[in-house]
Amino acid sequence: MPHLSTGDLLRQGIEEKRPICLQAKEYMDSGSLVPDGLMIEIFQERLSMPDCQIGFILDGFPRTLQQAENLDRLLEKLMLPLDCAFYLAVPDNVIIERLSGRLSCSDPKCGAIYQSQTTPPKVSGICDICGSPVQQRPDDKVEVVAERLKAYKRSTEPLIEFYKTRGTLREINGNRNPNEIYADIVKNLPVK
Ligand code: AMP
């Protein structure tokens, strides 16, 4: 199943100088959410590609109530009901620590992620997998992370209630190591 990360879609589009994604850059750099109209356009375009017809995993979308309502309508049209929404709960101080130490491979085709404290690359500054330099995302600077958290609380947190009401929310304790979180997600996936 394709993994659709709207953040990755935007960063890739900026790299390729796509005008619609370039419009999003200033919002991303300041830690704000990209306006719903732009996001929905970018997202719908990706969703209409053939690989998505069997289903998909959404990562970072929806992030506002308007996006969630739009997604509902779209999935109804596609006759692809949403199976579940995972909420990975992590305390703010842990989020700040994790993101401000995150290092991403500069080659978007590789996309490997490291953490300077817990999982640094074997050779400092170099990706273990493809040998490209690793770098800090501009929006992982601590002051931008604080803005992103504010945007999350204002616009995204209400989605917890939205999906709880629909009975699709699965809350996962995200303050553990990745293997434990992964196992818990797998355990909570609806069986088809
Ligand atoms: P991420 O890689 O998921 O952390 O996203 C990085 C940035 O991209 C966010 O801080 C937003 O500026 C923008 N972004 C990604 N997904 C969305 C979305 N669904 N709605 C609005 N902005 C988004």
Residue 168 maps to which CATH number?
A: 3.40.50.300
Residue 105, domain member (yes or no): no
Query: Number of structural domains, the chain?
Result: 1
Atom of ligand 1 nearest to the CA of 64: 20
Tell whether 97 is covered by a domain: no
Residue with tokens 């130490």: 101
Domain span holding position 51: 3-90+156-188
Q: Does any ligand 1 atom lie closer than 6 A to the CB of residue 28?
A: yes
| Ligand 1, atom 2: closest residue by C-alpha | 7
Tell me the residue ranges of DSSP E strands in 30-112: 57-59, 85-89, 102-105
180: CA distance to ligand 1 center in Å?
A: 26
135 in a domain, yes or no? no
Specify if 98 maps to a domain: no
Distance 39 CA to ligand 1 centre (A): 9
Does residue 177 lie in a domain region? Answer: yes
Record the pTM.
Answer: 0.92
Distance, CA of 147 to CA of 130 (rounded, Å): 32
Cα 70 to ligand 1 centroid, rounded to whole Å: 17
- Written as tens digits, the pLDDT of the chain (192 aa) is 899 999 999 998 998 999 999 999 999 999 999 999 999 999 888 988 999 988 899 999 999 999 999 999 988 988 888 999 999 999 999 999 999 999 999 988 888 999 999 999 999 999 999 999 999 999 999 999 999 999 999 999 999 999 999 999 999 999 999 999 999 999 999 876
Q: Is residue 106 part of a domain?
A: no
